[in-house]
Amino acid sequence: MSKIVVIGSSNIDLIATVKNFPAAGETIIGKSFLQAIGGKGANQAVAAHKLGGDVKFITCLGTDVDGQNTLKYFRETGLDVSSVLLVEETPSGTAIILVNENGENCIVTTPGANHLLLPDYIHKIKDDIAACDMVLLQMEIPYDTIKTVCELAHKQQKTIMLNAAPACRLDKELIKMIDVLVVNETEAETVSSGKIDEIGEKAIIDKLLELGAKTVVLTLGKQGCLLKNEKETYSIPAFCVKALDTTAAGDTFCGALAARLTRGEGWEQALKFATAASAICVSRIGAQPSIPTEKEVNEFLCKIYIA
């Protein structure tokens, strides 16, 4: 099996479910509270691992209680965390998440140690990049770090999958190194400087391809996802589920896609699997607690196609 190196953030997620989001200056009473391990990097690493990938996760944690508990949890989950960076005197990252009755979320992250994952450290773990087949990145660690990873990985002809989340402008040099760019509508608009309402989804994807990404995957929530590259185009519909919490749906999708592609699956099969994994994720509360196992996704797909 091919190896995936995920380089990205880890957070402690503090999740409150609410009827409606509060207005500025308003105090509201929440319905429930959950504390769990999250962060886009960690979610994608755990998803790829649970969904059949061979994963190494590189992140930066504080030596605080949160950092220690997080590392223990990663080890118990079976993730390879042998290159995790630990820093003193900086707290581990946190995210405050509100989830409303429609399953929509508002997230505020405070990066803490995530912002100390710097280019210098990437040079120290360059052997991990040399030994992998795919690097999977998101935008919750410093931009220069992401660029350094891409430069090293690109030189060695590794597959680079970037999930441009949270939405962020990307420079031309960086986009040209990306093999698989995964974006939702907001992220696609930010990266392409185009408006979906004005030119449509297909034209936005074309803009991203023109900027240099080799393959673009546009995730569309309830509408499924679209993929386009030089040779192929796919439109995969979403599965119909009751959405309780959309947190980490995109992370589960990216982790699943990376896992299936590195196992040699083709685009269509891998996209269907990733779409099913994120459908299960949105039917549960929380980020990592809601990521399904490979067995759960296979059973879900079996039921759908038999029914």
Which residues are known to be catalytic? 251
Output the CA–CA distances (angstroms, integers) from residue 249 to 76, 92, 285, 289, in the order listed: 23, 23, 11, 12
Q: According to the binding rule CB under 6 A, does residue 52 interact with ligand RIB?
A: no
Q: Which one of residues 66, 128, 189, 251 is an interface residue with ligand RIB (CB under 6 A)?
A: 251
Q: According to the binding rule CB under 6 A, does residue 67 interact with ligand RIB?
A: no
CB of 39 to ligand RIB, least distance (A): 4
Closer to ligand RIB by Cβ: residue 11 or 70: 11
Task: Find the largest Cα–Cα distance for the chain.
Answer: 55
Q: According to the binding rule CB under 6 A, does residue 107 interact with ligand RIB?
A: yes
Other Cβ atoms within 10 Å of 173 Cβ, number: 12
Q: Could you report how far apart the first and last alpha carbons of the chain are, in Å?
A: 32
> Residues 74 to 103: which contact ligand RIB by CB under 6 A?
95
CB of 187 to ligand RIB, least distance (A): 12
Q: According to the binding rule CB under 6 A, does residue 53 interact with ligand RIB?
A: no
Instruction: Map tokens 């009827």 to a residue.
Output: 19
CB of 90 to ligand RIB, least distance (A): 17
Distance CA 175, CA 287 (A): 28
Helix (H) or strand (E) holding 52: none
Which residue's CB atom is positioned nearest to ligand RIB?
38
Burial grade of 82 (CB within 10 A; 0-12, 13-18, 19 or more): exposed
Q: Which one of residues 81, 149, 287, 297 is an interface residue with ligand RIB (CB under 6 A)?
A: 287
Closer to ligand RIB by Cβ: residue 179 or 187: 187
Region from 7-15, 76-84, 238-246, 289-297 binding ligand RIB, contact rule CB under 6 A: 7-15
CB of 95 to ligand RIB, least distance (A): 3
Cα torsion 192, 188, 159, 5 to 10°: value is: 130
- The closest of 39, 151, 148, 140 to 96, measured between CA atoms, is 39
Q: According to the binding rule CB under 6 A, does residue 187 interact with ligand RIB?
A: no
CB of 42 to ligand RIB, least distance (A): 7
Region from 8-16, 17-25, 152-160, 289-297 binding ligand RIB, contact rule CB under 6 A: 8-16
Instruction: Map tokens 């997080």 to a residue.
Output: 70
Other Cβ atoms within 10 Å of 237 Cβ, number: 12
Q: Which residues bind ligand RIB (CB under 6 A)?
A: 9, 11, 13, 38-40, 43, 95, 107, 109, 140, 247-248, 251, 287
